[in-house]
Amino acid sequence: MNTDTSKLTQLGRPAAIPASPDEAQLERVPNPHADTRYVARFNVPEFTSLCPVTGQPDFAHLVIDYVPRDWIVESKSLKLYLSAFRNHGAFHEDCTVAIGKRLVALLDPHFLRIGGYWYPRGGMPIDVFWQTGDLPQGVWLPDQGVATYRGRG
């Protein structure tokens, strides 16, 4: 298996948060178990972006599940990419779906789903869900584990 990480530009090196998601460099490494179907999950409980109209901060809990094919995402590059949204203005739907599509373009997974559980602003939470591919038969995909917003009870 090829585990050469010499072409990675961020892992093991100082790396600043990119100015925007478009400038962020997502990186991948070979899947060490490409012959096995399994789910990899990233929980991002403190995702932040900006409202494109008001400039006010928006907060979400993202859950990204994917069944890798030949590649897995290098996690430091993913953290930097997601952090680049901190000063980026976009609607909840745009952020959530754009993240999913960018990962699919990089990884070509068997399956990917992203749940964006956005905290309310203006009195209404907006949850956004996107999925591509079919879950391979026999793969266990747990519930994303994020309760819908209940307010005070």
Residue 97's alpha-carbon distances to 38, 61, 93, 117, 137, in angstroms, are: 22, 14, 6, 12, 25
DSSP 53-115: TT--EEEEEEEEEEE-SSEEE-HHHHHHHHHGGGG-B--HHHHHHHHHHHHHHHH--SEEEEE
> How many domains in the chain?
1
Per the structure, the complete domain to which residue 127 belongs is given by 39-132
The tens digit of pLDDT for each residue in 20-33 reads: 999 999 999 999 99
Residue 120, in any domain of the structure = yes
**pTM (whole model) above 0.95:** no
Residue 145 domain-assigned?
Answer: no
| Catalytic (active-site) positions | 51, 58
Please, are residues 68 and 109 in contact by the beta-carbon 8 Å criterion?
yes
Q: Is 115 domain-assigned?
A: yes
User: Is residue 11 assigned to a domain?
Assistant: no
| pLDDT value at residue 14 | 83
- What CATH number corresponds to the domain at position 65? 3.30.1130.10
> 82-135, pLDDT tens digit by residue?
999 999 999 999 999 999 999 999 999 999 999 999 999 888 889 999 999 999
Let me know if residue 75 belongs to a domain: yes
In a domain, 20, yes or no: no
